[in-house]
Amino acid sequence: MKNLFVIRHSKAMLYREGQEDHDRTLNKIGKEDAKITGNWLNNLGINIDIIYSSSSLRAKATTTILTEHLDSKPKVIIDNNLYLADENYLFQYIKQIDEEFEAIALVGHEPGLKRLINLLSGSFVSGLENTLDNKFSTSAAAVILLNIPFWSSINEREGTLFKYFNNRNT
């Protein structure tokens, strides 16, 4: 059994003219929300082995705050290829992950993350059936259970949306 945590970066500063989107960092609300999400993840009782994060400043800052609130202190990989990655890229990315990891997390961006969750979720824990009809907000987190022995054997619609957390609707 594999566990996939899909986490959207927290709320970022507004875009300023001349600034690269990649270089927007978290605002005050985003920092607080990342702490709340980190605590929620920690309380699940599933230790994340490794976090793969987009290289954007907001994703890296979110990842840093999350790991500060996780007892498991997972390894962190920052990957520029995850910046604004679409669901197909993310799907292939997951297939390449080392089999030693049982629970991994992706920290990134919309719309790729929500589309990835939709691509992988073939079933839902009771009460989560309509969860993905809504926006995948900043600091939101989803846990997908995958009954597979190897990441390379993942298929579309094979996972179960097991948990979902959304502190805000922004």
Tell me, what DSSP letter sits at residue 14?
Answer: P
Per-10-residue mean pLDDT, the chain, length 170: 98 89 96 98 97 98 98 97 98 97 98 97 93 90 97 97 83
Strands (E), 55-167: 75-79, 103-108, 121-124, 141-146, 159-165
CATH (residue range 2-12+22-124+144-165): 3.40.50.1240
Other Cβ atoms less than 10 A from the Cβ of 25: the count is: 15
Could you tell me the residue ranges of all domains in the chain?
2-12+22-124+144-165
